[in-house]
Amino acid sequence: MSKFSIVDGALNHFTNSPTPFHNCANLVTMLGESFEKLSEDEKWEGKIKPNGKYYYTRNTSTLVAFCVGGAYDASNPGGFKVIGGHTDSPNLRIKPCSKNGTSAGKITQLNVECYGGGLWHTWFDRDLSIAGRVIVSTPDGKFTQHLVNLKKPVCRVPSLCIHLQSGDERASFKVNKENHLQPIFAQVVKHTLEAPASKKAKTDEAAGEKNAWREGHDSTLLKLIAEELSIEVAQIADFELALYDTQPAALGGANEEFLYAARLDNQATCYTSIQSLTQYAANKEMLEKDADIAMVCLFDHEEVGSASQCGAGSPIMGEAVRRVSSALNNGGGNEDFFQTTCRRSFVFSVDMAHAIHPNYASKHEKNHSPDLNAGVVIKTNSNQRYTTNAFTGFVIREIGRRKNVPIQEFVVRNDCPCGSTIGPIISEKTGIRCVDAGMPQLSMHSCREMMGTHDLQLCIDLFNGFFELFRNIDESCYLCS
Ligand SMILES: [Zn+2]
């Protein structure tokens, strides 16, 4: 066990959140009982009040959580202090027809699809398991959603052994995403012997029913899911499943100064932002005098461009501002009211950042080369791949200064393409002021990533400072934004 409970909590969170659905569910658990659940398909008027704490999810993979300051006054409305991040990470996902038949060596494989821009060569020779959400039919003719996590390593994408490759092939190792990433799942002999023998999970035939969708999937896969959920195979109506590496998150480095885990991008932000929000919400004195709404929005589908019903490109951010402020205004509010609220708001968009890699130091421009364990990174790109400008960057630097959190700077080299994140998308949709930042890491989009242990706490300190100090700093600026 680490001496830092915050780090232990983070390690557990990363290990137990193999998909955005698990990530979201575990973050809701972190919020605790003091946060009241809202449903998007029910009226919020009369439910949301100053000093209240709330959350809702969309698609069970995007999470919005917030607390309303005790001094919120709809006649002079406060703004939204939003920390934004994303819940998804690149991975391999099981296709709608996963049955891959029997290939060479009587080996059964699963059909998988690449989600996002993973470093796919890192998925070879890992002990992979399967997790996701399953739609389950119930005996009374209804349907319900369950999370499933097989936990044991049932899949593997083996690399081609060295003796079967020429020197040139080894030197130019290239992954064909369709041909080379289909995992080995079972071997036919064992597979056919064992599939019908299960007592716990009856097959469709045993249940006297055929189902075209289930026919498209390997019967052993369906059996494993049914057993894990203690249901019958015939109850599996649909699913969204992904592969993940079973190796648990771990502390590393000679002094435990590093953290090794899958999906640090961007579960590290999910974890730290919800930690910060719960700490802020528990501080009665601070919440009582707050005139704003402190909010965390963690979106799905960032890795594939955010254009979805629950991604940052959906109306969800603007709707959150409108709906929450309208509910606080007894269901009222004209355009003037909403625009005032938006102009008093600010989005702190936090995604992971690129730390300097000692073996590839020339990939960074020397004045903008963040280090691990040296604080949060502000990302700037004058071509607007990041939203940071003089004002929004200043706000975060000033919070860092007051809270003793070191701030680092990142600008990509002119001869290198630049990544992007949710900041520009939210800015474009809502016109709300925004900054892009993140914790430094190495191996971004690898099956196993790496970051600095101390950056977790530094990030939480900065988030706490954002909720505490934003209004004061914003009001002390004149004609800046
Ligand atoms: Zn990211």
Tell me, in angstroms, the distance from the centre of ligand 1 to residue 112's CA: 22
Tell me, in angstroms, the distance from the centre of ligand 1 to residue 84's CA: 11
Mean pLDDT, residues 399-410 taken together? 97
Predicted confidence at residue 202, as pLDDT, reads: 57
Tell me, in angstroms, the distance from the centre of ligand 1 to residue 54's CA: 25
Tell me, in angstroms, the distance from the centre of ligand 1 to residue 269's CA: 9
204 touches 212 (CB < 8 A)? no
Tell me, in angstroms, the distance from the centre of ligand 1 to residue 100's CA: 31
**In the predicted structure, residue 190 carries a pLDDT above the cut 70:** no
442 touches 372 (CB < 8 A)? yes
The domains found in the chain, sorted by start residue, are: 5-89+262-475 (3.40.630.10), 91-245 (2.30.250.10)
Tell me, in angstroms, the distance from the centre of ligand 1 to residue 412's CA: 16
Predicted confidence at residue 311, as pLDDT, reads: 96
Tell me, in angstroms, the distance from the centre of ligand 1 to residue 8's CA: 22
Tell me, in angstroms, the distance from the centre of ligand 1 to residue 31's CA: 22
Mean pLDDT, residues 71-89 taken together? 97
Predicted confidence at residue 390, as pLDDT, reads: 94
In this predicted model, what pLDDT tens digit does every residue of 426-458 receive, in sequence order? Answer: 999 999 999 999 999 999 999 999 999 999 999
Tell me, in angstroms, the distance from the centre of ligand 1 to residue 293's CA: 25
**Share of residues in the chain with pLDDT > 70 (%):** 95
The token duo for 395 is 């706000």
Tell me, in angstroms, the distance from the centre of ligand 1 to residue 343's CA: 26
Mean pLDDT, residues 237-253 taken together? 97
Tell me, in angstroms, the distance from the centre of ligand 1 to residue 439's CA: 10
Closest CA to 128 of 142, 145, 110: 110
Tell me, in angstroms, the distance from the centre of ligand 1 to residue 181's CA: 23
Q: pLDDT band for position 418 (50/70/90)? A: confident
Tell me, in angstroms, the distance from the centre of ligand 1 to residue 297's CA: 14
Tell me, in angstroms, the distance from the centre of ligand 1 to residue 98's CA: 28
In this predicted model, what pLDDT tens digit does every residue of 1-56 receive, in sequence order? Answer: 344 589 999 999 999 999 999 999 999 999 999 999 999 999 999 999 999 999 99
Least confident of 60-64, 317-321, 327-331, 477-481: 477-481
Tell me, in angstroms, the distance from the centre of ligand 1 to residue 352's CA: 6
Average pLDDT, the chain: 93
| End-to-end Cα spacing for the chain | 46
Residues with beta carbon < 5 A to ion ligand 1?
Answer: 265-266, 351
Predicted confidence at residue 207, as pLDDT, reads: 54
In this predicted model, what pLDDT tens digit does every residue of 329-380 receive, in sequence order? Answer: 999 999 999 999 999 999 999 999 999 999 999 999 989 999 999 999 999 9
The token duo for 195 is 């599939």
Tell me, in angstroms, the distance from the centre of ligand 1 to residue 71's CA: 34
Tell me, in angstroms, the distance from the centre of ligand 1 to residue 50's CA: 33
**In the predicted structure, residue 58 carries a pLDDT above the cut 90:** yes
Tell me, in angstroms, the distance from the centre of ligand 1 to residue 301's CA: 10
In this predicted model, what pLDDT tens digit does every residue of 120-173 receive, in sequence order? Answer: 999 999 999 999 999 999 999 999 999 999 999 999 999 999 999 888 888 888
Q: Which residues of 448-463 are buried (b: 16+ CB within 10 A; e: fewer)?
A: bbbbbbbbbbbbbbbb
Question: 343 vs 89, 171, 321, 421, 432, CA distance in Å?
Answer: 31, 54, 11, 22, 6
**In the predicted structure, residue 278 carries a pLDDT above the cut 60:** yes
In this predicted model, what pLDDT tens digit does every residue of 296-338 receive, in sequence order? Answer: 999 999 999 999 999 999 999 999 999 999 999 999 999 999 9
Predicted confidence at residue 2, as pLDDT, reads: 44
Tell me, in angstroms, the distance from the centre of ligand 1 to residue 300's CA: 11
Tell me, in angstroms, the distance from the centre of ligand 1 to residue 196's CA: 43
